[in-house]
Amino acid sequence: MNAKKKNKKKADKKSASADQSKVICENRKARHRFEILEQVECGVMLIGSEVKSLRDGNISLNEAYVRVEKKELWLIGADIAEYRQASFWNHKPKRARKLLVHRRELDKLSAKAFEKGLTLVPLRMYFNSRGIVKVTVAVGRGKNLHDKRQTLKDADNKRRLNREMRDRGR
């Protein structure tokens, strides 16, 4: 009986800590420009001054993309601003950064990345519950203008329905 209570407490702590991720940056344009097919969580190889800059929230993922080169994933175009206090040990703001994934996930992503019309896009960067920087990478297909219009119509209809349901409940 006592062992069950301990296991339950451990499970509660794990679920509580899993929800404590702090989003640093989100690429909102990616969801508008691409139809998201699949998502994968990746680690990032960073320098100390980059992590300090990320804690201040100095990053932009707007023009960033992910490329597969020599059986490795690379985050290219992410702009992490220089950390002022780092002086001459600072990093280059737009350097390519290696993404860390399991080989199985890399093989699956690289196969999809080489299909015509599909691309790898970073969606968001965040600190997980242990304070480690993670990036959510998605496989996306570019939307056409009519697809974007349809997405906006669907969102508008959903919003209108929710408003009507809420008003009927009163």
pLDDT tens digits along 123-169: 999 999 898 899 999 998 887 877 778 888 898 999 999 999 888 87
Band (pLDDT 50/70/90 cuts) for residue 18 is very low
Can you tell me the distance from the alpha carbon of 21 to that of 8, in angstroms, rounded to the nearest whole number?
Answer: 22
Quick check: helix, strand or coil at residue 158?
helix
Q: How many CB atoms lie within 10 A of CB 79?
A: 15
Q: What is the pLDDT of residues 74-127, one digit of tens each?
A: 999 888 888 877 777 777 778 898 999 999 988 888 888 888 878 889 999 999
Confidence (pLDDT) at 101? 92
- pTM for the predicted model, two decimal places: 0.70
Band (pLDDT 50/70/90 cuts) for residue 3 is low
- What value, to the nearest 5°, has the Cα angle with vertex 100 and ends 94 and 101? 135
Could you give the count of Cα atoms lying within 13 Å of 2 in the half-sphere of its Cβ?
Answer: 0
Residue linked to tokens 């990478």: 137
Quick check: helix, strand or coil at residue 66?
strand
Confidence (pLDDT) at 14? 47
Can you tell me the distance from the alpha carbon of 166 to that of 20, in angstroms, rounded to the nearest whole number?
Answer: 31
Q: Which residue has the higher pLDDT, 87 or 57?
A: 57
Q: Tell me the two tokens of residue 134.
A: 């993670």
Quick check: helix, strand or coil at residue 169?
coil
Q: Say which CATH class 21-143 falls into.
A: mainly beta
Residue 11 has pLDDT above 90, yes or no: no
Mean pLDDT of 35-63: 86
What sign does the CA torsion over 161, 163, 166, 167 have? negative
Q: What is the pLDDT of residues 39-48, one digit of tens each?
A: 999 999 988 8
Q: Tell me the two tokens of residue 27.
A: 């690429």
Q: Which residues of 22-53 are buried (b: 16+ CB within 10 A; e: fewer)?
A: eebbebeebbeebbeeeebebebebbebbbbb
